[in-house]
Amino acid sequence: MSLTFFTIVLLGLACTGYVMGRRRAMALARSQTAALHSRPVYHGWYVALACGLPAIVIWVAALTIGDQLIESAIIASLPQELRDASGPVLNRFLADAETLAKGGQPAIDVTPALVAASERFGNLRTLEHWIGFAGALGLGLIGFGLAYRRLSTALRVRQPVERLLMFVLLLAATASILTTVGIVFSVLFESIRFFSQVPIFEFLFGLQWSPQIAMRTDQVGSSGAFGAVPLFAGTLMVTFIAMLVAAPIGLMSAVYLAEYAHPRFRAGAKPMLEILAGVPTVVYGFFAALVVAPALRDAGASIGLLVASESAIAAGSVMGIMIIPFVSSLADDALAAVPNALRDASLGLGATRQETITRVVLPAALPGIVAGLLLAVSRAIGETMIVVMAAGLAANLTANPLEAVTTVTVQIVTLLVGDQEFDSAKTLAAFALGLVLFIITLGLNVIALRVVQKYREKVE
Amino acid sequence: MVAVTQATARERDASHADAITIPAERLPELGGPVKMKARGLKLWYSDKQALAGINLDVPERKVTAFIGPSGCGKTTFLQCLNRMNDTIEGVRIEGDVTLDGADVYDRSVDVVQLRARVGMVFQKPNPFPKSIYDNVAYGPRIHGLATNRGDLDGIVESSLQRAGLWNEVKDRLGEMATGMSGGQQQRLCIARTIAVSPEVILMDEPCSALDPISTARVEELIDELRDNYTIVIVTHNLQQAARVSQLTAFFHLGRLIEVNDTAEVFQNPGESMTKDYITGRFG
Ligand SMILES: Nc1ncnc2c1ncn2[C@@H]1O[C@H](COP(=O)(O)OP(=O)(O)OP(=O)(O)O)[C@@H](O)[C@H]1O
Ligand SMILES: [Mg+2]
């Protein structure tokens, strides 16, 4: 009795409930003088839910309780020496019995005891599913019958149905919020563990970053250094270079699109920009690593400049290109939101188009543009793939954009790649970096949203 | 059924063959100088004709009112006077419009200068989201009318004074213009237009978004401005046209049906269509 089969049967039952409930309600409305309190649809939902919900609850309950019972039953039937075995061994054995019962390949040797256990397991499982199914179906039918018989023109079914619907929506909303909160807290707690090993002051202001911790205590360089300033500086530099590329080009293209371009051109170009924004960043990453970085290095060499083959400038400029559509699209929205009446007012006073743009349209759109830029910055800071591929891994505190730098995101990746002990300072450092990243981008987003909100109030 | 719809469609189209539009020689004597002149002005929005050869003289330092049912081309004609519809996609214009005898559609004419001479006040108040001061100073700044801050202050003050707004706003010139009441905003827009010292002011239903008290103030203002400016006003409010204008032009389906002294048009309309419109029988 598989889950799929159960789902199909249950859905069929609920659909039937819906159709019959609705039809009954319409029939009631026709045959009686009193008007229906709730629309027929609600009656349909009422019956469907009355049979579907209890059935689901029973099914879930039967399986949960059933699994417990099966496990204890199997353990009770095991030979003495297995029953006395340690927890992990017993669990391994049970898991393998289950695998075998499902026709899989167990990891331990197939012993007669295992075969017996797996057969038992299979039988009990089938029994459990049948009982669960029968219970669910029975209760579903009872719910169906009761609800169906209760239907009348005066029955107020709308309220309970709508309340239930609201509850479902609420559940969805809280699920997403709770997940976020859960992630934040786990990052926070791991960071606190990290800070109990490495002082927060050293982390935030230390100039030395070499997280390699020796495997053996007698190895050289056994103490890692967790000063994150080189990472912050690297992130800052790459972001700055990216914005240096993205802000002017993005803004100018937005002004062209919003103010000069033919509407037909704009209608075509805007979706194209949005597609560009959807190119996976790993594609930009290898573009940066394989095309831009070597080109920059060769160009540098030809004028006698030493450009590292992984450099801040290569990563930053490609990241800038990646962000252009983002900036351009948001700025274009901000410009398009400026009412035409303002443009007419300015033109009507004898201003040229260019004066109108620089003195009226851009100032009016400025908050929206600033918000767009802030969002772009927060994206640049959080961007990982391009810098992993093109910026470098060595923590290098430098102000020279031609050298390799590393960023917070790159270090998080390198700290977590490969086999790690989960509670070493090295792994925990990734959480601390993640926390910093989270706080910065959250801050930027909050500021950007507030700016947009303020601006909206002002325009309306 | 079909025939009827076709006939109505034909009637609605301004290019209709029997179009009666006033020929130039039948325009009334103005008894004063003519500021702007339109001759045989036709305008198409893509294939749709909106003006069917308009002849009209706009008298200097007087108020001319345009009336007529919605969609008859009042706004379209008004915008031809300072070429505000140049930028609209697919507009085609034939005929002449002159300002002091010079063709405004001539190649040599700079629209920017034209619009400095023929200013416009829009239906909905549209102050810039800047301070009150900056709104009025906007035009003088772009046209370089003031050489120093003192001059600019002077222009701003006199414009606000002439728009009857000075006393209300003199203590809060730095505040956002968008925070004022609708009536104040519209008078600010008028002040903003006056600040570039235009010769003609075009107003497209300037009071349609205002309450009666603000409307009365704007009407008073128009009356005062008439001494120094040539004013053309589009209005749906016939009493307003009767109160503020000296000349009234009645448009219908892209044609100019009647133009005459305001008193004459309202008391003794020459065309039955005009009579029907002002007595509220259609439109
Ligand atoms: N931008 C445009 N594109 C296409 N057709 C237009 C455009 N503007 C106006 N029209 C059409 O031209 C005709 C005249 O319009 P116009 O705005 O001049 O009328 P109006 O007399 O000002 O009307 P109202 O009193 O409602 O403001 C109308 O049929 C209108 O639909
Ligand atoms: Mg109009």
Question: Smallest CA–CA separation between A266 and chain B, in Å?
Answer: 14
Neighbours of A384 (CB within 10 A): 17
**According to the model, what pLDDT value does residue B251 have?**
94
Q: For ligand 1, say whether the CB of B50 is within 6 Å of any of its atoms.
A: yes
Interface of B with A in 72-101 (CB under 8 A): 82, 84, 87, 89
- Greater confidence (A222 vs B176) lies with B176
Domain spans of chain B?
6-278
Mean pLDDT, chain B, as a whole number? Answer: 87
**Helix H or strand E segment including A345:** helix A340-348
Listed in sequence order, the residues at least 6 apart from A258 whose beta carbon sits closer than 8 Å to its beta carbon are: A266, A331, A332, A335, A336, A361
Nearest to B119 among A349, A360, A458 (CB): A349
Listed in sequence order, the residues at least 6 apart from B71 whose beta carbon sits closer than 8 Å to its beta carbon are: none
Angle between helices A312-336 and A229-255 (to 10 degrees): 40
Nearest to B115 among A348, A360, A363 (CB): A348
Q: Measuring CA to CA, how many Å separate A410 from each of A45, A226, A394, B68, B216?
A: 52, 15, 10, 70, 69
**According to the model, what pLDDT value does residue B28 have?**
79
Nearest to B142 among A263, A345, A355 (CB): A355
- Helix ranges (H only) for A32-111 are 40-77, 80-83, 87-101
Q: Which of B8, B67, B76, B234 to mutate to test the pocket of ligand 1 (most atoms within 8 A of CB)?
A: B76
By alpha-carbon position, which residue is closest to atom 5 of ligand 1? B45
Does residue A53 form part of some domain?
yes
A264 and A144 share a domain?
no
Residue B193 contacts A, CB cutoff 8 Å? yes
pLDDT band at B77 (very low <50, low <70, confident <90, very high): very high
Q: Which ligand is nearest to the CA of B84?
A: 1
Return d(Cα A447, Cα A116) in angstroms, integer: 65
Strand B230-234 relative to strand B63-67, pairing: parallel
Instruction: Indicate if ipTM > 0.90.
Output: no
Return d(Cα B133, Cα B180) in angstroms, integer: 13
Decide if B116 and A349 are in contact by the 8 Å CB cutoff: yes
Query: Could you tell me the two tokens for A58?
Result: 């029973």
Residues of B in contact with A263 (CB under 8 A): 89
**According to the model, what pLDDT value does residue B44 have?**
94
Nearest to B126 among A345, A352, A363 (CB): A345
pLDDT digits (tens, 9 = 90+) for B196-215: 999 999 999 998 888 888 88
Residues of B in contact with A364 (CB under 8 A): 128-129
Closest CA relative to residue B232, chosen from B81, B91, B97: B81
- Residue A212 is given by DSSP the state -
Does residue A116 form part of some domain?
yes
pLDDT digits (tens, 9 = 90+) for A318-330: 999 999 998 999 8
**According to the model, what pLDDT value does residue A356 have?**
95
Return d(Cα A18, Cα A12) in angstroms, integer: 10
User: What SS3 class is residue A206?
Assistant: coil
Which of the listed residues A139, A156, A173 is the one where a domain comes to its end?
A156
Long-range contacts of B152-157 (CB under 8 A, 24+ apart): B155/B195, B156/B195
By alpha-carbon position, which residue is closest to atom 26 of ligand 1? B70
A311 and A416 share a domain?
yes
Residues of A in contact with B87 (CB under 8 A): 347
Find the mean pLDDT for residues B211-236: 91
Ligand 1 atom having least distance to the Cα of B90: 3
Compute the 3-state secondary structure of chain B and give helix, strand, coil in percent, each to the nearest 5. Answer: 40, 25, 35
Does residue A177 form part of some domain?
no
A148 and A248 share a domain?
no
User: What SS3 class is residue B88?
Assistant: coil
pLDDT greater than 70 at residue B9:
no
pLDDT greater than 90 at residue B146:
no
Q: For ligand 1, say whether the CB of B71 is within 6 Å of any of its atoms.
A: yes
pLDDT band at B271 (very low <50, low <70, confident <90, very high): confident
Task: Supply the Cα-derived Rg of chain B in whole angstroms.
Answer: 19
What pTM value is reported for the model?
0.74
User: What SS3 class is residue A366?
Assistant: helix
Does residue A162 form part of some domain?
no
Q: Encode A409-436 in three state secondary structure.
A: HHHHHHHHCCCCCCCCHHHHHHHHHHHH
- Residue B39 is given by DSSP the state E
CA of B178 to the centre of ligand 2 (A): 23
Are the C-beta atoms of A15 and A144 separated by less than 8 Å? no
CA of B196 to the centre of ligand 2 (A): 24
The proportion of chain A whose per-residue pLDDT surpasses 70, expressed as a percent, equals 95
Angle between helices A40-77 and A158-197 (to 10 degrees): 50
Which of the listed residues A156, A175, A204 is the one where a domain comes to its end?
A156
Return d(Cα A135, Cα A59) in angstroms, integer: 7
**According to the model, what pLDDT value does residue A256 have?**
94
Does residue A377 form part of some domain?
yes
Q: In CATH, what number is assigned to the domain containing residue A275?
A: 1.10.3720.10
pLDDT greater than 60 at residue B226:
yes
Does residue A367 form part of some domain?
yes
Q: For ligand 1, say whether the CB of B88 is within 6 Å of any of its atoms.
A: yes
**According to the model, what pLDDT value does residue B15 have?**
44
Ligand 1 atom having least distance to the Cα of B205: 27
Nearest to A349 among B130, B176, B196 (CB): B196
Closest CA relative to residue A90, chosen from A69, A105, A75, A110: A75
pLDDT digits (tens, 9 = 90+) for B27-50: 777 778 999 999 999 999 988 999
**According to the model, what pLDDT value does residue A456 have?**
66
Decide if A347 and B89 are in contact by the 8 Å CB cutoff: no
Nearest chain B residue (CA) to A262: B89
Decide if A348 and B119 are in contact by the 8 Å CB cutoff: yes
Return d(Cα A173, Cα A189) in angstroms, integer: 24
Residues of B in contact with A348 (CB under 8 A): 82, 84, 115, 119-120, 122, 193
A113 and A230 share a domain?
no
- Helix ranges (H only) for A151-228 are 158-197, 200-205
By alpha-carbon position, which residue is closest to atom 4 of ligand 1? B45
Q: Which ligand is nearest to the CA of B43?
A: 1
Q: Which ligand is nearest to the CA of B203?
A: 2
Please, is B213 exposed, middle or buried when counting C-beta atoms within 10 Å of its C-beta (0-12, 13-18, 19+)? exposed
Find the mean pLDDT for residues B174-199: 92
Q: How many structural domains are present in chain A?
A: 2
Q: For ligand 1, say whether the CB of B12 is within 6 Å of any of its atoms.
A: no
- Greater confidence (B172 vs A210) lies with B172
Per-residue pLDDT of chain A (460 residues; tens, 9 = 90+): 577 888 898 899 899 999 999 998 888 888 877 788 888 888 899 999 888 888 888 888 888 898 888 888 888 887 777 777 777 777 888 888 888 887 777 777 778 878 888 888 888 888 888 888 888 889 999 998 998 888 888 888 888 889 988 999 999 999 999 999 999 999 999 999 989 888 888 888 888 888 776 455 555 555 678 888 889 999 999 999 999 999 999 999 999 999 999 888 988 988 888 888 888 889 998 888 889 888 888 888 888 888 888 888 899 999 999 999 989 998 999 999 899 999 999 999 999 999 999 999 999 998 889 988 998 999 999 888 888 888 888 787 888 888 888 889 988 888 888 766 666 778 888 899 999 999 999 999 898 888 878 766 665 5
Task: List the domain range (segments joined by +) for residue A101.
Answer: 3-156
Nearest chain B residue (CA) to A263: B89
User: What SS3 class is residue A2?
Assistant: coil
For CA atoms B214, B215, B221, B225, the dihedral sign is positive
A137 and A249 share a domain?
no
Return d(Cα A323, Cα A325) in angstroms, integer: 6
Find the mean pLDDT for residues B207-232: 89
Query: Could you tell me the two tokens for B279?
Result: 């007595």
Are the C-beta atoms of A142 and A17 separated by less than 8 Å? no
Please, is B39 exposed, middle or buried when counting C-beta atoms within 10 Å of its C-beta (0-12, 13-18, 19+)? middle
Class of domain B6-278: alpha beta
Which of the listed residues A126, A156, A186 is the one where a domain comes to its end?
A156
Return d(Cα A33, Cα A439) in angstroms, integer: 64
Return d(Cα B44, Cα B50) in angstroms, integer: 6
The residues that bridge with B119 in the sheet, in sequence order, are: B201
Query: Could you tell me the two tokens for B73?
Result: 């081309």
Decide if A344 and B89 are in contact by the 8 Å CB cutoff: no
Does residue A204 form part of some domain?
no
Return d(Cα B158, Cα B162) in angstroms, integer: 6
Are the C-beta atoms of B162 and B224 separated by less than 8 Å? yes
By alpha-carbon position, which residue is closest to atom 24 of ligand 1? B70
Are the C-beta atoms of A333 and A251 separated by less than 8 Å? no
Given its phi and psi angles, is residue B254 left (phi above 0), alpha (psi -120 to 50 degrees) or beta? left
Q: For ligand 1, say whether the CB of B24 is within 6 Å of any of its atoms.
A: no
Strand B91-99 relative to strand B102-103, pairing: antiparallel
A378 and A454 share a domain?
yes
Does residue A186 form part of some domain?
no
CA dihedral A330, A333, A335, A339 (to 10 degrees): -160
Residues of A in contact with B178 (CB under 8 A): 458
